[in-house]
A and B are shown apart, each in its own frame.
Chain A
């Protein structure tokens, strides 16, 4: 099914929905899975083999730790290579973050200082990943709750330079742009729209959309922190930013992510339909602008 205005909106396939997807075959142009959920044995890999017969799949890694100063874990990279070889996904993506240090795996996408040293580490690790996988990967901007004192490079520029050096693409998570701008923007003047403007449009290979929550324990000065928990519907502010993103990047495959408090499959399909409506409006707007 062609998507709205050339934008194809997929959903993240979660374990609790796999049976229903196989039984009901909902009309959705593609599905994304977390790589690490399909690296073990059991029923999950067999289910994915069945799903991929009917849907294009995107593989989204969360455990490769592209930002590790120690380099990539060869065994993990081999597991990813093997999965990618079997599933033949449409896209493969990972994150601008780290989660492994000194042999310990920390179950989170942890922030990096944006420095020349970090850029060299990322470049080497992305080069290695792409060489072992034999294909281009997309690297996703993280949601941030802190920044490091010694960071010197704005994140969008860091990603642009990484893409230039390695040939990787960029996965622009619009919710993450919004969350990071809220959490860090007050002092840095980081603005979500400026961030989108600083990304190289030609490198954007995918967009992510998700919900976030507002941290209830406000600090004394009334400051709130947005938590990127992927546990609710996309907010109006993020829909508005998505529209800006499409205007800038053109029709890019878009994904609805939902990872905590996972609702019925129908809710994810509704969110995908909502994204299609935004995409249609964005394309009409762009056409009108050209005609004017």
Chain B
């Protein structure tokens, strides 16, 4: 059984874009790919971080275009 600390390190890597393996090996697909389920969490983490950057640096966002904050 995967120890919790190890699983959380794997999840952290998956959510910050450092690779879904081995976190996805611990996830049940339940009709979807495990990676698709992890992607729901990754999307939330990255989009809320992006929102914070946008709110903190509105002028930079206007200058370089929203696409660089997406």
Residues of A within 8 A of B (CB): 68-70, 98, 101-102, 104, 106-108, 110-113, 115, 117-118, 121, 145-150, 184, 186-188, 215, 219, 221, 223, 225, 227
Contact = CB atoms under 8 A, between A and B. Distances in A.
Given A69-B4, A146-B41, 12 more contacts: A69-B8, A70-B5, A104-B16, A106-B12, A107-B44, A110-B8, A111-B41, A113-B4, A121-B4, A145-B40, A147-B27, A148-B7
Nearest to A112: B4
Contacts of A188: 30
Given A113-B26, A146-B27, A104 B12 contact: yes
Contact of B26 (A70, A102, A150, A227): A150
B60 interface: no
Interface in B18-39: 25-28, 30-32, 34, 36-38
A98 B15 CA distance: 13
Contact of A102 (B9, B32, B40, B49): B9
Interface residues of B, number: 30
Contacts of B3: 69, 117
A102 B34 CA distance: 23
Binding site secondary structure of chain B? helix
18 contacts: A69-B3, A69-B8, A106-B16, A106-B45, A107-B49, A108-B45, A110-B15, A110-B41, A117-B1, A145-B41, A146-B34, A146-B41, A147-B27, A148-B7, A148-B26, A150-B26, A184-B30, A219-B32
B48 to A, nearest CB: 5
B9 to A, nearest CB: 6
A107 B1 CA distance: 26
A101 B52 CA distance: 21
B2 interface: yes
A150 B2 contact: yes
Contacts of B40: 145-146, 215, 225, 227
Given A106-B12, A108-B48, A145-B37, A223 B1 contact: no
Contacts of A215: 40
Given A101-B9, A186-B30, A186-B31, A106 B2 contact: no
A158 B46 CA distance: 29
Nearest to A217: B36
A102 B30 CA distance: 29
Contacts of B52: 107
The 7 closest A-B pairs by CB, nearest first: A146-B37, A69-B5, A101-B8, A69-B4, A101-B12, A145-B40, A187-B30
B31 A187 contact: yes
A106 B15 contact: yes
B12 A102 contact: yes
Nearest to B42: A108
A104 B26 CA distance: 21
A149 B27 contact: yes
A164 B4 CA distance: 22
A179 to B, nearest CB: 12
A17 B5 CA distance: 39
A68 B8 contact: yes
